[in-house]
Amino acid sequence: MGCFCLKKVRNKSGYKDPTILASETPFTVNEVKALYDLFKRVSSSIIDDGLIHKEEFQHAVFRNSSKQNLFADRVFDLFDVKHNGVIEFGEFVRSLSVFHPNAPIADKIAFLFRLYDLRQTGYIEGEELKEMLLALLGESELVLSNDMVEMIVEKAMVEADSNGDGKIDEEEWREFVKNNPSVLKNMTLPYLKDLTSLAFPSFVLNNEAEIVGNK
């Protein structure tokens, strides 16, 4: 017999019917079911309560639950839509859907804007770009000098901050991404169209410098 075990999981904390989630995202019902298998593995890795805690999330992304990372924290915060310190299944599927190849480009651009808007002010400032870039570099094998990091950030700010007020608003960000489509490279995970053997997204560790417009 198939073992998605709907009857057993209906009462799980944060569980959401796959038919509903499929209607709200680019995923099919079968893909949502496959995502539930992934969700179960991640959510039971430390605390088996049907919810993904920050330590479990960080371990799934970076294979290291003891090391703090700003990038992992920020992605977790965006997935944790209810801001209650855990990720429920519905939040997991809806948030992950932005990385689906069929997700609207506008949604991908908006997600990245919120990712870099660390202070949640509605703007991205140079210091925020620098903090995120350093966090990404800290988890990769790519080594850049301080001067190179400053140059990447300055180049991105000069190009994106069209009105010269020292920060990037959402309209400026959309225009910047339009002119630098490589920024969105890590916002699409092709294997989300084929969820037969799924591991947790590894988008975090790919081409870190490119994400802020280093062409």
For residues 78 and 91, the answer to whether their CB atoms sit within 8 Å is: no
User: Residue 153's closest CA among 187, 183, 128, 185?
Assistant: 128
Same-fold call for 15-97 versus 103-186? yes
Cα–Cα distance for residue pair 78/208, rounded to 1 Å: 19
Report the CATH fold assignment for 103-186: Recoverin; domain 1 (1.10.238)
Q: Which CATH superfamily is domain 15-97 in?
A: EF-hand (1.10.238.10)
For residues 209 and 144, the answer to whether their CB atoms sit within 8 Å is: yes
Cα–Cα distance for residue pair 94/72, rounded to 1 Å: 18
How does pLDDT run along the chain (215 residues), one tens digit per residue? Answer: 444 444 444 445 556 789 999 999 999 999 999 899 889 989 999 999 999 999 998 888 766 555 567 888 888 999 999 999 999 999 999 999 998 989 999 999 999 999 999 999 999 999 999 998 888 787 676 788 999 999 999 999 999 999 999 999 999 999 999 999 988 887 776 656 555 444 555 444 343 444 455 54
This prediction's pTM: 0.80
Domain ranges of the chain: 15-97, 103-186
Distance of CA 189 to the CA centre of its chain: 11
